[in-house]
Every structure is written in structure tokens, then in C-alpha cells.
Amino acid sequence: GESVGLHLPTLSVQEGDNSIINCAYSNSASDYFIWYKQESGKGPQFIIDIRSNMDKRQGQRVTVLLNKTVKHLSLQIAATQPGDSAVYFCAETSNDYKLSFGAGTTVTVRA
């Protein structure tokens, strides 16, 4: 079946360095992608989104890149801070409501 998945389950990064979190998807019909951050005991929090008519979108300290050719999505976090430690999920949808979530990548920021 079609699925959304993350390449690596964990990422350890030094404070101040840049982080890159990757995500692969297999549904070629997906046209909307979202990155979420989930801290312990909390619900997923929206970080940034991108539609399939774009290749790149930037937010505050975060950039999402979409490569439709290889069905790959990435989240870049600049100057990673301790508060960035969390589980990061990519999600995709082809109908704007039924999100399929990846397994999640746990990011740990080392001081």
C-alpha cells in the first residue's frame, strides 16, 4: 500500500548546528505536505507546509524542500536550539483532509 515514511528514526544534533530531517512518500497523487513537531505530552504542532506546485518554502528558521521527482520531502532547521528537541512528523494528503503521517523522527539537541 502507499505510505509516508521517514528515513531515520532518530537525529542527534549539536546546538547551533543545522538539522535536516528527511521524509519519503509514495503516493504520487499527494499535493499537500505538512511538517509537525510533537513535544512530550502535547499534540502535534504545525511547523510549515508546502503544496506540490512549489519546491521550497521558508519560515522562521525552517525550510521545507519538496522533490516530486523522487517523492522526497525534507525539513531544515537552522541554528538548532534545545527547544527544537521533539519528534518531527511529515504528513501528506491528496484531498486536503485525510492526512497520512510518517513514523516520526526524534530529534535530540546536544548542548
21 touches 5 (CB < 8 A): no
9-38 residues in contact with other proteins (CB under 8 A) are: 34, 36
Q: Provide DSSP, 60-81.
A: SSEEEEEETTTTEEEEEESS--
Per CB under 8 A, the segment of 12-20, 51-59, 68-76, 95-103 that binds other proteins is: 95-103
Q: How many Cβ atoms from other residues are within 10 Å of residue 11's Cβ?
A: 19
- Using CB under 8 A as the binding rule, whether residue 41 contacts other proteins is answered as yes
C-alpha cell at 47: 511547523
- Decide: is 73 part of the binding site for other proteins (CB under 8 A): no
Scan for cell 525534507, then name that residue.
Answer: 74
Of 1 and 41, nearer to other proteins (C-beta) is: 41
CA 93 – CA 19 distance, rounded (Å) = 25
**Contact with other proteins (CB under 8 A) among 49, 57, 63, 71:** 49
- Give the shortest CB-88-to-other proteins separation in angstroms: 13
Shortest Cβ distance from residue 13 to other proteins (Å)? Answer: 23
What is the DSSP pairing of strand 105-110 with strand 10-14?
parallel
Binding site for other proteins (CB under 8 A): 34, 36, 41-46, 49, 89, 97-99, 101-104
